[in-house]
Chains A and B, each alone.
Chain A
Amino acid sequence: MMRRDECLKVLARHHCGEIVVPAYQAAFEWMAIRPHPLTYLGTGAMGQASSHALGLALGRPDQRVIVLDGDGSLLMNLGSLVTIGAAAPRNLLHFVCENGTYEANGGHPIPGAGRVSFAGLARAAGYRSVHEFADLEDFGARIAAVLKEDGPVFVTLKVVAGDAYPQDFPALHDAEQRRRFRAALAAA
């Protein structure tokens, strides 16, 4: 099992200006680990990150889009796997940080924790390539190649929470942040 923040630090070392759409806990950590104007924080309602990312990917096929989803979040929008599989954007990479809990809502277990295979669901939904990582060294060794694959790519990261990061909820919904993202994307 890997620490989520350690995974995100590895990902940050390979980040080359892709749009990143992080959800909740991953958002708090990504903001601290890799502050970047092309971070899209305003996903609004839980579970919607992958759908926002699909819109971004379809609207800007010249830009790579990385979603940092949670397992509880993805369960709230499981159909998005099928929608993304069907739309098949080559520029979309969908990461899921699987810790088996609703971490932002009291740490309760998700339904099917430890039994459901998100990678299996993504594969069945038609993602072009699917990966699963539970070892940080393995993740670090293969992430560069994964990031170059044609999408839609799905990556499960088996994680536990790492260091505590500030839960800056106002930042997720900040209008100024959305304005900065829009401007950065227009310039990209």
Chain B
Amino acid sequence: MPADAGRATGGAAVRGSDIIAAVKRCGIGTVVALPDIVTSDGLLWPIARDPALRLVRVCKEDEGVSICAGLSFTGTRSLLLMQHTGLLDSINAIRAVAVEYALPVCMIVGLQGMEPDREPPQSQKYGVRIVEPLLDVMGIDHARLGVRGDEARIAPAFDRAWEVSRPFVFLATRAPE
């Protein structure tokens, strides 16, 4: 159960520019990504245009898990950006590389198809509904990224992921503005 369970989903959507600023604040300079329709306009396109960020586009999300793992051994902080379908497709790599090897793989995952008036575990969509329980079963810390102000949780969460060498997942419940 995430710390923000039961939290209101209303209010203005988080700004992509605020997410990017928060990501940079915790020392992330490389983003590994596959396009996700939730974060495409508000996050991935601005990242692609940002000369201060290196964007590595991958063909499949489990590649991204391993690229971030390899980068972590060099002391390079990175972010893996993907859709929840990609997370589901990458479970084995996340299990082995991020969880069992205890590596700071930091992820922002768009919940594609998430209904705005519901919480993820109450989604009508099976694929969305299972994501948080799945992360709980895997022992992966996670939080939601939806409304303005949520970006303030990014740097502490990712800094902590590096400090304790564990993965962390932010679930984008709404499209960033």
Chain A residues near B (Cβ < 8 Å):
40, 42-45, 47-48, 51-60, 77, 79-80, 82-83, 86-87, 173, 175, 178, 181-182, 185-186
Interface residues of B in 38-84 (CB under 8 A from A): 54, 56-60, 62-76, 78
- A-B complex: 3 closest residue pairs judged by Cβ atoms: A55-B70, A79-B59, A59-B74
- Residues of B near A79 (CB, < 8 A) are 58-60, 63
- Residues of A near B56 (CB, < 8 A) are 54, 58, 83, 87
Q: Decide: A51 and B66 in contact? CB cutoff 8 A.
A: yes
Chain B residues near A (Cβ < 8 Å):
30, 54, 56-60, 62-76, 78, 92-93, 95-97, 100-102
CB-contact partner of B60 in A43, A60, A77, A87, under 8 A: A77
- Residues of B near A55 (CB, < 8 A) are 66-74, 76, 78
Assuming the contacts A58-B30, A82-B59, A86-B57, asked whether A43 and B66 have C-beta atoms less than 8 A apart, the reply is yes
- Residues of A near B58 (CB, < 8 A) are 51, 79, 83
Closest chain B residue to A49 by CB distance?
B66
Q: How would you classify the secondary structure of chain A's contact residues: helix, strand, loop or mixed?
A: helix
Q: Decide: B97 and A44 in contact? CB cutoff 8 A.
A: yes
CB-contact partner of A48 in B73, B75, B97, under 8 A: B97
Q: Can you list 13 A-B contacts (CB < 8 A)?
A: A45-B96, A48-B97, A51-B66, A54-B66, A55-B68, A55-B72, A55-B73, A55-B74, A58-B30, A58-B71, A58-B76, A77-B60, A80-B59
Q: Decide: A83 and B57 in contact? CB cutoff 8 A.
A: yes
Closest chain B residue to A58 by CB distance?
B71
- Residues of B near A77 (CB, < 8 A) are 60, 62-63
CA distance A55 to B63 in the complex (A): 10
Assuming the contacts A56-B73, A182-B73, asked whether A45 and B67 have C-beta atoms less than 8 A apart, the reply is no
Assuming the contacts A45-B93, A83-B57, A178-B101, asked whether A59 and B70 have C-beta atoms less than 8 A apart, the reply is yes
